[in-house]
Amino acid sequence: MLHDELSDSNLDENGNLINPLDQHFPFTMTHGEPCIGMEFESAEYAREFYEMYGRRMGFTIRSNRTRRLLKDNSIIVREFVCSKEGFRAEKYTKKETRVSQSRPATREGCNAMLRIAAKDGGKWVIYDFIKEHNHELNPSKIPHRRSHRIAFCEDEKDRKIRELAMELHREKKKSAAYQEQLQMVLNYIEEHTQRLSLKVNLVSNNLRELESED
């Protein structure tokens, strides 16, 4: 279990900070550059890898678009972009009722991004990467992280959504099976009622014939 604050398990024998990704990736991946085809054990590690790369280069990242499967709502594509991607909406920059001065624009239409896709077996692979930025990169201006905890919050939420969607799918299948069994019982009762009605009519006709002969 990873904790928000640093503990003894985050330090080596010399008291230096241990990067959690070093336990999952070789040195070339934890300190290298993203490339198409690079695989990760999870989407969380891919995001952490891109964030570490960005900090070394001098930019920060954020999560952007995702793509989900319709059948179980599971995420199959993730996109991470430079924090300066896009532009601030005009409604925030041209607000007539604004009293205080607007904050400096932080988005400059940067196209740098990383896209990953889910593979069989739970792994994720980079299938699109744009390296170039349209702004200055300065590692010294990137604020230090409070800790080296891997951010699982968003992915934990996605996992819960996926589990609930799968549970709902199972319950729907159970409900469909119960409805099918109930329909079979109702059909049997209807057939039995029809046969019984025919027998009653036959007995009634026989009685009328006997009465007429008497």
At residue 4, the pLDDT reads 36
Residue 43 has a CB neighbour count (10 Å cut-off) of 24
144 and 156, same structural domain? no
Query: What total number of domains does the chain contain?
Result: 2
Report the distance separating Cα 168 and Cα 165, nearest Å. 5
Query: Between vectors from CA 197 to CA 192 and to CA 200, what angle results, nearest 5°?
Result: 125
Residue 124 has a CB neighbour count (10 Å cut-off) of 23
172 and 144, same structural domain? no
145 and 62, same structural domain? yes
Query: Dihedral angle at the C-alpha atoms of 138, 139, 145, 147, nearest 10 degrees?
Result: 170
Estimate to the nearest angstrom the gap between the alpha carbon of 124 and the chain centroid: 12
Q: Which residues of the chain have pLDDT under 50?
A: 1-11, 15-20, 22, 27, 147-151
At residue 174, the pLDDT reads 86
Last residue of a domain, one of 129, 150, 171: 150
158 and 86, same structural domain? no
Main-chain dihedrals φ then ψ at residue 62, nearest 5 degrees: -150, 160
Q: Is residue 1 situated within a structural domain?
A: no
Report the distance separating Cα 21 and Cα 49, nearest Å. 8
Q: Is residue 3 situated within a structural domain?
A: no
Burial pattern 181-200, b for ≥16 Cβ within 10 A else e, equals eeeeeeeeeeeeeeeeeeee
At residue 98, the pLDDT reads 55
84 and 13, same structural domain? yes
Q: Which of 130, 126, 128 is nearest to 37 (CA)?
A: 126
DSSP of 11-36, one letter per residue?
B-TTSPBPPGGGGTS-HHHHHS---T
Q: Is residue 2 situated within a structural domain?
A: no
Query: Strand runs (DSSP E) across the chain, as ranges?
Result: 39-40, 61-68, 75-82, 113-118, 124-130
| Domain that includes residue 156, residue range | 152-214
Report the distance separating Cα 157 and Cα 22, nearest Å. 25
Q: What percent of the chain has pLDDT above 90?
A: 31
Length of the chain in terms of residues written: 214
